Chain A
Amino acid sequence: MSDAFIAETITITGDGGTEIEAYSARPADPGKQIGGVVVIHHMPGYDRESKEHVLRIAAEGYNAVMPNLYHREAPGADPDDAAATARANGGVPDDRLVGDVKGAAEYLKGLPTANGKVGTIGYCSGGRQSFLAGVSLQIDAAVDCYGAFIVGEVPEGLPLKVGPIVDKTPNLSCPLLGLFGAEDQYPSPDHVKELEEALKAAGKTYEFHSYEGAGHSFFSADRPAYRPEAAVDGWNKVFEFYGKYLSA
Chain B
Amino acid sequence: MRTMCTYITEKVAVSGSAKGASGWFKVTDGSVYFDHPVHAPEGHTLNIDFLAPEAGPSARVAVELTAESARALAKAIESVLDQVPPGLA
A-side interface residues toward B, CB under 8 Å?
43-44, 73-74, 77-78, 80-85, 87-88, 124-125, 148, 154-155, 157-160, 181, 183-186, 214-218, 223-225
Most buried by A among B3, B8, B56: B3
On chain B, the residues within 8 Å of A155 by CB distance are 7-8
B-side interface residues toward A, CB under 8 Å?
1-11, 29, 31, 33, 36, 38, 41-43, 49, 51, 53, 56-58, 60, 62
* Complex contact A84–B7 (CB within 8 A): no
By secondary structure, the B interface counts as loop
* Complex contact A80–B62 (CB within 8 A): yes
Listed from nearest, the 9 A-B pairs whose CB atoms lie closest are A215-B3, A74-B57, A77-B57, A225-B3, A85-B57, A185-B4, A216-B4, A81-B57, A80-B38
By secondary structure, the A interface counts as loop
Contact with B60, one of A44, A84, A124 (Cβ below 8 angstroms): A84
Number of cross-chain contacts by CB at 8 Å: 87
Q: Which residue of B lies closest to A74 (CB)?
A: B57
For the complex formed, measure the closest distance between the CB of B5 and the CB atoms of chain A, giving whole angstroms: 6
Knowing that A44-B38, A157-B10, A216-B4 are A-B contacts, what are 4 other residue pairs whose CB atoms are under 8 Å apart, sorted by A's residue number? Answer: A84-B57, A88-B11, A88-B31, A224-B43
User: Given the complex of chains A and B, what is the CA–CA distance between A154 and B9 in angstroms?
Assistant: 12
User: Given the complex of chains A and B, what is the CA–CA distance between A215 and B62 in angstroms?
Assistant: 26
* Complex contact B57–A186 (CB within 8 A): no
* Complex contact A183–B51 (CB within 8 A): no
Most buried by A among B6, B8, B31, B57: B57
On chain A, the residues within 8 Å of B5 by CB distance are 43, 124-125, 148, 186, 216-217
* Complex contact B58–A78 (CB within 8 A): yes
On chain A, the residues within 8 Å of B7 by CB distance are 148, 154-155, 158, 160, 186
* Complex contact A81–B2 (CB within 8 A): no
User: Given the complex of chains A and B, what is the CA–CA distance between A154 and B6 in angstroms?
Assistant: 10
User: Given the complex of chains A and B, what is the CA–CA distance between A81 and B55 in angstroms?
Assistant: 12
On chain B, the residues within 8 Å of A124 by CB distance are 5
* Complex contact A217–B36 (CB within 8 A): yes
Q: A88-B11, A88-B51 are in contact. Are A215 and B2 (CB under 8 A)?
A: yes
